[in-house]
Amino acid sequence: MAEESLLPSHTEDVSASPNKSSSLLSEISNASTRPFVLAFTVGSCGALSFGCIVGYTAPTQSSIMKDLNLSIADFSFFGSILTVGLILGALICGKLADLVGRVYTIWITNILVLIGWLAIAFAKDVRLLDLGRLLQGISVGISSYLGPIYISELAPRNLRGAASSLMQLFVGVGLSAFYALGTAVAWRSLAILGSIPSLVVLPLLFFIPESPRWLAKVGREKEVEGVLLSLRGAKSDVSDEAATILEYTKHVEQQDVDSRGFFKLFQRKYALPLTIGVVLISMPQLGGLNGYTFYTDTIFTSTGVSSDVGFILTSIVQMTGGVLGVLLVDISGRRSLLLFSQAGMFLGCLATAISFFLQKNNCWETGTPIMALISVMVYFGSYGLGMGPIPWIIASEIYPVDVKGAAGTVCNLVTSISSWLVTYSFNFLLQWSSTGTFMMFATVMGLGFVFTAKLVPETKGKSLEEIQSAFTDSTSEDSTIF
């Protein structure tokens, strides 16, 4: 499907404007208001906290097991219960964000994270340890979708992609920081350090604005223009933007006056955006991300690469890819970065499969470790460039506000289950066939490339209302897809 067919032909192309540079500078200036900066800081601290949570168990395993006299089974349960929390959080994230609003939901997630870290830091046995990890998982399950939604609903259209990508980059910062700190800091102290992002966020929550689109959805129309003025600057003309938000919200409500609740999402007109969101968000997991992330040491060891060297180089490449993604997402667009990223991840998986095949058959013994290292670096660099942040950005852009909560629940639940399946089965798959495992991952990424090329439209430079109406107004059918 051509991307032009999904986007309104009357939409202004920012790149075609003769005053492009001054317009973009104006957008940046307007976005640099204190409420927007505080909101972005809150979102970035949430992403940083997510990275700290994910990176906590790897460097602390031996010390926690020794201090609390845990078995391998005890610690494995401690690590895996995070995924249980992710699934629970995914189940409630949409309803909670729609019911109490974006800001109050951020309050809840940060309080859960703070309690979780304190439970781990002061744990005397495995029960408190597991409770803290479960609470963290619930929080991450809620905030992993809420964060991109909140920022996308506040940011100007020309900065929406860069702001969301930069925020997601902090996940990698937190992960890398905890990997490094975990080698030098005791596990209880590391847990205390993990609570710092949430402690920074809590006082800021008194000063950040609620999403103007959520305000319009719940009937608080009079507050919409005031919030937009605080975000864009007191001298900005936000009347057109406020009118567009209110008119589109009213239009959606009139269309679906007889349809309420979670299953509204499964109307035929939402079939394409739901498919795009679910496929893009679950694709990295089914394409081997958790296999690479949690078992990088196994991959390097099996192919004769130094784990320390491999981890350092891989971290540098992934962060570099993430920075490039931030710089390019609002220039080259989401779709082109996705295609480039998927192609790179496909080649990385393919090269990893080939290196395992060569190693097993004792071919090219001097070059196999180098190929394995390069393949992992290509995979992670490509992931950081596009497939890390962009699926969540697109998912936060394509759903109307009336189904955004339900869509978040579905997308988050699918990616959590996909993550668990790959994490659980990866070692069994390696025992079956190392080459075959990575060929399977390469196949997923190849199919993902075709999917993106055929069905995913470009959303760069479009308002949320323009993107959403392009999907939902393409058909007037209200029948469900069941």
What the block records as the tokens of 175 is 């992960």
| Residue 182, number of CB atoms within 10 A of its CB | 20
Is the pLDDT at 346 greater than 80? The verdict is yes
| Residue 133 · residue 85 · CB < 8 Å | yes
- pLDDT score recorded for residue 234: 81
Examine the domain organization and report whether 278 and 160 are in the same domain. Answer: no
Residue range 421-428: average pLDDT? 78
How many structural domains is the chain composed of?
Answer: 2
Q: How confident is the model at residue 26 (pLDDT cuts 50, 70, 90)?
A: very low
In a domain? residue 1:
no
In a domain? residue 26:
no
pLDDT digits (tens, 9 = 90+) for 190-217: 999 999 999 999 999 999 999 999 999 8
- pLDDT score recorded for residue 21: 38
Q: Which of 440, 450, 41, 23 is nearest to 279 (CA)?
A: 450
Examine the domain organization and report whether 186 and 294 are in the same domain. Answer: no
> Which residues is 249 bridged to in the sheet?
none
- pLDDT score recorded for residue 456: 92
How many whole angstroms separate alpha carbon 328 and alpha carbon 323?
9
How many whole angstroms separate alpha carbon 260 and alpha carbon 149?
21
Examine the domain organization and report whether 163 and 285 are in the same domain. Answer: no
Examine the domain organization and report whether 426 and 360 are in the same domain. Answer: yes
Examine the domain organization and report whether 268 and 203 are in the same domain. Answer: no
- pLDDT score recorded for residue 156: 84
Q: How confident is the model at residue 445 (pLDDT cuts 50, 70, 90)?
A: very high
Examine the domain organization and report whether 319 and 189 are in the same domain. Answer: no
Residues 61, 66, 72, 78: is their CA dihedral positive or negative? Answer: negative
| Residue 225, number of CB atoms within 10 A of its CB | 18
How many whole angstroms separate alpha carbon 345 and alpha carbon 107?
36
- pLDDT score recorded for residue 171: 86
In a domain? residue 282:
yes
What the block records as the tokens of 257 is 């006056």
Q: How confident is the model at residue 25 (pLDDT cuts 50, 70, 90)?
A: very low
Q: How confident is the model at residue 116 (pLDDT cuts 50, 70, 90)?
A: very high
Q: How confident is the model at residue 186 (pLDDT cuts 50, 70, 90)?
A: very high
pLDDT digits (tens, 9 = 90+) for 271-311: 899 999 999 999 998 998 877 876 666 677 766 777 667 77
pLDDT-wise least confident of 41-55, 251-265, 310-324, 384-398: 251-265
- pLDDT score recorded for residue 260: 60
Torsion of CA 470, 5, 285, 278, to 10 degrees: 40
- pLDDT score recorded for residue 32: 61
Examine the domain organization and report whether 191 and 273 are in the same domain. Answer: no
In a domain? residue 129:
yes
Helices (H), 56-159: 57-68, 72-100, 102-121, 126-154
Domain that holds residue 294: 263-475
What the block records as the tokens of 362 is 């004792």
CATH classification at residue 163? 1.20.1250.20
Examine the domain organization and report whether 139 and 54 are in the same domain. Answer: yes
In a domain? residue 289:
yes
How many whole angstroms separate alpha carbon 72 and alpha carbon 128?
17
Q: Which of 88, 87, 93, 68 is nearest to 78 (CA)?
A: 68
- pLDDT score recorded for residue 347: 96
Examine the domain organization and report whether 345 and 409 are in the same domain. Answer: yes
Compare 13 and 347 and report the one with higher pLDDT: 347
Is the pLDDT at 20 greater than 60? The verdict is no
Compare 479 and 396 and report the one with higher pLDDT: 396
- pLDDT score recorded for residue 413: 86
Examine the domain organization and report whether 422 and 355 are in the same domain. Answer: yes
How many whole angstroms separate alpha carbon 145 and alpha carbon 151?
11
Q: How confident is the model at residue 47 (pLDDT cuts 50, 70, 90)?
A: very high
In a domain? residue 191:
yes
DSSP 320-351: HHHHHHHHHTTTT-HHHHHHHHHHHHHHHHHH
Residue range 253-269: average pLDDT? 69
Is the pLDDT at 161 greater than 70? The verdict is yes
Percent of the chain with pLDDT over 90: 34
Examine the domain organization and report whether 285 and 390 are in the same domain. Answer: yes
